[in-house]
Structure 1
């Protein structure tokens, strides 16, 4: 059985630029792909930015190939690697669009953050649903300061081209959301009441069960509401969606750094003891 939403936060549509300017990007939370338009015609161009921030508001990042492990575009079931120009902003510009559901996939290279205090790491971990982090940390005999975590981002975007028909599927990201229903072809009530859309969360190709999922809903007036959901025994979460909204889903894997997940060579001496893998999915409803 799915657990009910345990908390929601309503945020007015204010710009968070001042907050983000004073917060290093490594400390900001979600990473996602955000298009200028979620529904485009096939004779138009699609432009989308890489975003890093909090609460569905964030800084736009340029295209830098050394920060990218994978960047693919899926049209008509065909997966094509995407290559931009260094420094491009927005990072994604596509022409020659094919009618149907267009999917963009993005995985980042590992990056590192070092915690000078236990409190910051604990607050982050607990916010992502890992209430047992202190016991796990202490059981490994780890220090409470001066340790590192390295992280990767695993983002997916769904865009409707013309009719937007088509289906999402798993594409082999180490962790990823799979929309089991196409949000652009759902029949949604015009009175603003929600419809449950099924989304599955995967980790290493298998369903990730009983995992926390953050849902951010942006309304037409640009206000954002956050809810906490949880996957069921099949890794599926019921996402309440309403017409004319934009959505971001976020979920984090927190695992120990072991010999099975070695650090990149440049970071071997960074004392990283934890790794996080962030999955995101972005889409809109007509």
Structure 2
């Protein structure tokens, strides 16, 4: 019981991220046999490094596994770690989907906000912030995370698709069965439409744990193509930042960020 409470405390702390910390689903194995177990941590961190944390129902709005045979809702107990630990629902490509509840953070100053928006390709919002007459200290941002992960079960057949998330990354190619010699292909969708000319960040983790980070942009159709290496694990990330309809920083968040992530591993 003590360990569970300690882990829960860590979760509550981890759920208050610094401005540019990613959230992702981290499977124990990206390929499992039919009848095997899907097991994955929720992680928050930077450069594909971060602690796993326990499941807290109030911080989760949607948690499911989408398979070629249908959708299975995931219902962990409070404090469960790993958050995902279920028998594989069906053979084929299993897509784990998680949407957080609404969370918020407070920026201590403009420098902290600037680091975030510059990293995520929204630097012009600093000017907008000042034009709105907002304070440069102690202002809030609301945020939600939309994470997906691709796990191969058995033959891994099947395809990812748009899951109706406010923002999401869709794998156009199935990395476990499709030819990736021309690169991995993903679409970025925001509010039901292709997100054109948007930054996509790619974190490439080698088997020895080293991570390379790069950024590319989507084309006019919201599509991005990038090279991948057999045996490597990938975290793909894209973020939207928008103004909240609130000009009073004392009344609540004045900005909102929406984070999409996708994880997968390329077979050797």
Within-5 A mapping of 1:21-40: 25-27=17-19, 29-40=21-32
For the residues of structure 2 that align with 1:53 and 1:173, how far apart are their CA atoms? 22
Most deviating of 206-215 and 132-141 = 132-141
Q: Partner residue of 1:168? A: 160
For the residues of structure 1 that align with 2:55 and 2:198, how far apart are their CA atoms? 31
Residues 216 and 224 in structure 1, CA contact (< 8 A), matched pair in contact too: yes
Q: Partner residue of 1:219? A: 206
Relative contact order (alpha carbons < 8 A, sep ≥ 6): 1 or 2 greater? 1
Q: Partner residue of 1:46? A: 38
Deviations 1:213-265 (A, max 9, x none): 11000111111100011111000001211111100001110001127xxxxxx
How many residues are paired up? Answer: 253
Q: Partner residue of 2:147? A: 155
Residues 27 and 38 in structure 2, CA contact (< 8 A), matched pair in contact too: yes
For the residues of structure 1 that align with 2:40 and 2:266, how far apart are their CA atoms? 17
Give the CA RMSD over aligned residues.
1.9
Q: Partner residue of 1:232? A: 219
TM-score normalised by structure 1 residue count: 0.84
- Residue 77 of structure 1 and its aligned partner are, at CA, apart by 4.6
Deviations 1:50-101 (A, max 9, x none): 0000011101111111000111111115122210011001000111431100
- Give the 4+ runs in structure 1 shifted more than 6 A: none
Residues 126 and 133 in structure 1, CA contact (< 8 A), matched pair in contact too: no
Structure 1 residues 138 and 71: alpha-carbon distance in aligned structure 2, compared to 1, 3 A threshold? same
SS at match of 1:181: coil
For the residues of structure 2 that align with 1:218 and 1:285, how far apart are their CA atoms? 11
Structure 1 residues 98 and 66: alpha-carbon distance in aligned structure 2, compared to 1, 3 A threshold? same
Match among 58, 72, 79 for residue 87 of structure 1: 79
Within-5 A mapping of 1:206-285: 206-258=193-245, 271-285=252-266
Give yes or no for the alignment of 1:112 onto 2:93.
no
- Residue 25 of structure 1 and its aligned partner are, at CA, apart by 3.0
Residues 19 and 116 in structure 2, CA contact (< 8 A), matched pair in contact too: no
Q: Partner residue of 1:143? A: 135
For the residues of structure 1 that align with 2:15 and 2:94, how far apart are their CA atoms? 33
Q: Partner residue of 1:264? A: none
Structure 1 residues 240 and 255: alpha-carbon distance in aligned structure 2, compared to 1, 3 A threshold? same
Within-5 A mapping of 1:57-76: 57-76=49-68
Structure 1 residues 23 and 258: alpha-carbon distance in aligned structure 2, compared to 1, 3 A threshold? closer
Residues 20 and 116 in structure 2, CA contact (< 8 A), matched pair in contact too: no
- Unpaired stretches in structure 1, ≥5 consecutive residues: 1-20, 190-194, 260-267
- Unpaired stretches in structure 2, ≥5 consecutive residues: 1-12
- Residue 114 of structure 1 and its aligned partner are, at CA, apart by 0.7
For the residues of structure 2 that align with 1:138 and 1:269, how far apart are their CA atoms? 16
- Residue 130 of structure 1 and its aligned partner are, at CA, apart by 1.1
Match among 184, 187, 197 for residue 184 of structure 2: 197
- Residue 28 of structure 1 and its aligned partner are, at CA, apart by 5.3
For the residues of structure 2 that align with 1:22 and 1:253, how far apart are their CA atoms? 21
SS at match of 1:272: coil
- Residue 157 of structure 1 and its aligned partner are, at CA, apart by 0.5
TM-score normalised by structure 2 residue count: 0.90
